[in-house]
A and B are shown apart, each in its own frame.
Chain A
Amino acid sequence: MSRRNCLKVGKVVAPRLYPKTARQSVILLVWVVLFLQCLGCGPAPDIQPPRTITYTFDAPTRDLISLLAQKSQSSIYKNFDRNFKGLLVPESLLPYEPFVLGLSTESKIPTVLLLDAPWVQRYGVAGWLYELERTHVFDKSELVPAVAEAFSVSLTRITGGKSKELVAVPTYIKGNILFSRGDILKRHNLRPPRTWEELKAVCRKVLPQEKSLKFGLLIHATNALNDFYPILWGFGGRVNNDAGQFVLHQKPNADAFVAALKELISMQGSIIPNANDLKRFEPAGSLRQTFFRGQALFMINWNTRMKDLTDLIAQSKGQAAGNLTDIRQVWISPIPARTGQPHRYTNIGSFGWAVNRFSVTDPTVIANARSFIELVSDEQFQILAAETLGQIPSLKSALDKVTDRDVGRVYKWTFGQKDMVIRARPHNRRINNTLEKFLQEALYGLRSPESALDGALAELKDLMRPE
């Protein structure tokens, strides 16, 4: 019933109630209260601290990032410096291994660090590195299995898991391999040797017929230990076990050490340069220069020398007779092993990006670290490094797409071989320095192989543990 009817029926005089005004006042009041409630609304101010993460400054990586920023026009690469802060390590500090001090004292800096393969083992076993596959930072299956294995360590003490965990992501594969004069071997209808016996047989056959060849096999006169490790492993010997413990004094390893050294010394003079000639190869680059000039049938060197040889060929085309004129004259294969050994080995020289375990204090850090590792190890990055620097990609997908023939050839005939094992040398500099010293003395004829072993073990006695 309307108000008018009500008044008519009841005959009530309409009182002055101002209903409309009162209702409007109430509605207005409600709106004001609601508006006041909304005064504090709105997005909260962003008080998150900047989430830049630190990484060890690495000049080649920076060069590639700059190149990618120019080529791809991608904001990811252009904003690289905004999101990631590089830590420059003074050259003078590098021998002191400053990051050992940092991580051993649980420093959160750097978040991401570039580590040489042996140091990946040392840091990983110490529990300083963040496992990458289990935490979904990186999928191990994307990597070439052999190199992924070299950057994996057992974290039983840390995580309780028995299997090896990937703790660093290599962006390329680098290792020492056997370079051969493919054109000469082909001329003699020979194949690259798989064992030392085969190598010696090839040399015995070819060297007398090829007068331009002065040496059968070139190894480094300085840092010869890098060449010796894959030879030792090919003889079944180990200096350190997988847990990083010194095991050279154990009989199988000691015997292998002596045998491998004997093998090298036995070849000196006929195949390998003798003590006097070795001095010629002490200057840097002398090894590849000799091989480039066509004076050696075989050479043990890093796979990156393939690019150097290509550059040398390009620079000196037609200047002298006997020089290499085409990189296709060079064949590559794994360093030979002892007859009967199932595997051939390479001493890995790759670096990998690892995450500092102590820096992972919240999900943002690990997300940024993941972004960084994706940036510096992604397919585009590795293809560019392969095309420009001749690096062998560590990603299987990058290997499939790389167009550089030499890069593909090196991988196919060395690291891609089924019997190839990529292994890191011991990280302990004292071990390496000691072994290097006694190896040099043996190669220069100052000690017998047995004496060299005894001398090294005597100096490293404090590292020995009971068998």
Chain B
Amino acid sequence: MTDPTTFIRYSLRNRLFVLAGATFLLCAVVILLFFPLLNLTLDGLQDRTFKSMQEGAEVEATTIARLLVLEFSSLKGLMQVTPTSNTPTDQWIKDLLWEKVTFNEIIEGIELIQGQEDVLGRHLTYMFYRREAPELKPMAGPQKFMKSFQGLEQDLIDTIASQQRVDNRLQESVNRGPKQEGEMLLRYMPVHVLLADEGAVYWGVAKIGIDTSRMRHLLLLQSEEQTRLRRDIWVEIILSLTISGVLAMSLIYFWVRYITEPLKSLSFVAGDLQTAKPEEFDLWLENLKRVDPQGQAEVVVIQQVLQRLGTAVPKLGQRLIDGEAQACLGRMIARGLPTLQAWQAELRELEGQLASGAAASPLPAQQRLALIRASLETVLEDFSHLWSDPPEQWSLIDLTPVLQRAWRLATLGLSPGVRQHQDLAPLPMVWGTPAELSLAQLYLLDFAVDQLPPDGELGLAGAATPAGRVRLTVWVSGNSPAVAECQKWLNPFGDPGGIHGSLGPALAAGIAAQHGGALTVTPREEGGVEFSLELPSASASQDSHELHN
């Protein structure tokens, strides 16, 4: 999660972006669902329009047919003609039908069928259709049934309606409703001739065909209009979604940027803590304080907690260093205690012998006594240096005595089988605190002694590098550790759950870094491990220290 790429991928900002995008897509899908609904609505509209147009055409057909029939009702000549007659009235009626059909575009054809038959059972039929020549064979229609018809007016209409397959249940009336015959809308209506002395006298049936091409044309126009409407609405929806999406995502971007900025800054600052050096803690804390929470409670809380942690960690570190130093000294004293006790016993014994004169040869005993006393004084003096050196006083230091004292203390009490190698060349002066540098050496030597096998080798070397730096090397024989394990010694907190062993190398590295130097730990080829501590020479180190201060 600390990888920058991973961080960006899983950051709150990115997640908000994804969430906003997903929400917008969901809304877009919901909006797009309206398009199928729109299609259904348009289809319904088309059906309703078709129905209303059909009803309108039927009403128009009925009206036209009614007007014609009302006009026919004044044709008293109809009462005079019979199937056998061939009078001028016949021609007059034929001409009239021709005029009605020819000069009225909406009327496709007219048939007048007399209800009363002659003695031979024949019915009179006048017919004229615009689309068919009048001399053609008459269309299959009422006249076919009229020839065999006998009865009243209503019976005639019933017969026509039933034979013409008019659905009485739908039409409610026998002579109502259109019938598709070719491209015509047909109307059947009874014809009554108005006579003053007899009233409305039933004559027969009029069959009137109404043109329906106009309705089809209107339907075609409506269909095209709906297609155009669908396309326009689709384009408008997509355009609206695109514009609103761009606007929304732009606004969301700035908004998310704004509200996640404090958390992002805080996370960056908190991330710096992982790599911050002890001397960078103050700077880190300053950066932490500079994070603007912008009123976000969560950021404020985390910031405060981090500040407390940032303040506490250096103090805890100092306490840890102090404790480790004491522990290191404690271990050295404990390791050298048998030697010191042996010296004390031998010292008493020698003093007793010299006092009682029981010594076989007083001179060697006195020399031995002096040697032991000198050794004790050296040990005490070495320890006293550790306590007497001011811990934070920087000065020019000759590291050779410091190294010697550390070596003496570290090797005190080692088993006789251990081979000790000390190779100290003349070293340039360094700038630093004697107490700290002594502790650094002690940490390394103490750690090395802990790694030392019973019959192993322990070495200390000090030399100046070609670059003028001081290199101090502590090595110990034994098993070679892995490089990763060596790094763990330098960074024991890398694995929070796995702090094992001494903190000496890490603290020594810290002291080295504090003095502008560095500590490296490498496995030795012949076995064992080597600690190499490099310190800058006094001139370079002093400039850096003063600059730092």
Contacts and interface: CB of A to CB of B under 8 A. Distances in A.
Interface string B138-179: 000000000000111110001000000000000011111000
B199 A12 contact: no
A91 interface: no
A15 B300 contact: yes
User: Interface size bucket, A side?
Assistant: 20 to 34
Given A12-B304, A13-B304, A15-B296, A101 B70 contact: yes
Contact of A95 (B172, B189, B192, B196): B196
B173 A429 contact: no
Interface in A419-437: 429-430, 433
Interface in B424-461: none
Interface stretch (A102-110, A252-260, A440-448): A102-110
B297 A101 contact: no
A248 to B, nearest CB: 16
Contact of B66 (A10, A17, A105): A105
A162 interface: no
Contacts of B65: 105
Nearest to A360: B172
B173 A127 contact: yes
Contacts of A100: 192, 199-200
A455 interface: no
B173 A107 contact: no
Nearest to B151: A465
Interface in A350-404: 357-358
A429 B66 contact: no
Interface string A1-38: 00000000011110111000000000000000000000
B176 A96 contact: no
A358 B172 CA distance: 9
B301 A106 contact: no
A462 interface: yes
B154 A15 contact: no
User: Interface size bucket, B side?
Assistant: 35 or more
A108 B151 CA distance: 27
A433 B200 contact: no
Given A13-B304, A100-B192, A126-B154, A95 B197 contact: yes
B295 interface: yes
A104 B189 contact: yes
Given A15-B295, A104-B189, A126-B154, A96 B301 contact: no
Interface in B191-225: 192, 194-201
Interface in A32-50: none
Contacts of B197: 95, 429, 433
Given A95-B196, A97-B199, A107-B66, A127 B296 contact: no
A187 interface: no
Interface in A237-266: 244-245
A106 B62 contact: yes
A107 B190 CA distance: 12
Contacts of A104: 69, 189-190, 192, 200
Contacts of A13: 300, 304
Contacts of A433: 197-198
Contacts of B198: 429-430, 433
B173 A101 contact: no
Q: Is the interface of B mostly helix, strand, loop or mixed?
A: mixed
A440 to B, nearest CB: 15
B66 A96 contact: no
A430 B192 CA distance: 14
Contact of B199 (A96, A105, A465): A96
A71 interface: no
Contacts of A16: 295
A168 to B, nearest CB: 18
Interface string A94-132: 011110110011110000000000000000011100000
Nearest to A431: B198
A155 to B, nearest CB: 11
A211 interface: no
Contacts of B542: none
Given A101-B194, A106-B176, A127 B154 contact: yes
B293 interface: yes
A126 B200 contact: no
A157 interface: yes
A10 B301 contact: yes
Contacts of B300: 12-13, 15
A244 B151 CA distance: 12
Contact of A106 (B152, B173, B201, B295): B173
B73 interface: yes
Contacts of B173: 106, 127, 357-358
A157 B189 CA distance: 18
B114 interface: no
Contact of B301 (A12, A127, A157): A12
A97 B296 contact: no
Interface in B44-63: 62
A107 B69 CA distance: 12
Contacts of B174: 127, 157
B118 to A, nearest CB: 11
A212 to B, nearest CB: 41
A11 B69 CA distance: 100
B116 interface: yes
A15 B296 CA distance: 6
A101 B158 contact: no
Given A105-B65, A107-B66, A97 B297 contact: no
In this complex, the member of B66, B70, B196, B198 whose beta carbon has the largest number of chain A beta carbons within 10 angstroms is B198
Contacts of B62: 105-106
Give me the 8 closest cross-chain CB pairs, A-B, nearest first: A100-B200, A16-B295, A97-B199, A96-B194, A15-B295, A105-B66, A97-B200, A15-B297
Interface of B: 62, 65-66, 69-70, 73, 116, 150-154, 158, 172-176, 189-190, 192, 194-201, 293, 295-297, 300-301, 304
Given A106-B62, A465-B150, 15 more contacts: A12-B304, A13-B300, A15-B295, A97-B194, A101-B69, A104-B69, A104-B190, A105-B190, A106-B175, A107-B66, A125-B154, A126-B153, A244-B152, A357-B173, A465-B151
Interface of A: 10-13, 15-17, 95-98, 100-101, 104-107, 125-127, 157, 244-245, 357-358, 429-430, 433, 462, 465
21 contacts: A12-B300, A13-B300, A13-B304, A15-B296, A15-B300, A17-B295, A96-B200, A97-B199, A100-B192, A101-B192, A101-B194, A101-B200, A104-B190, A105-B70, A105-B190, A106-B189, A107-B66, A126-B154, A127-B154, A127-B173, A433-B198
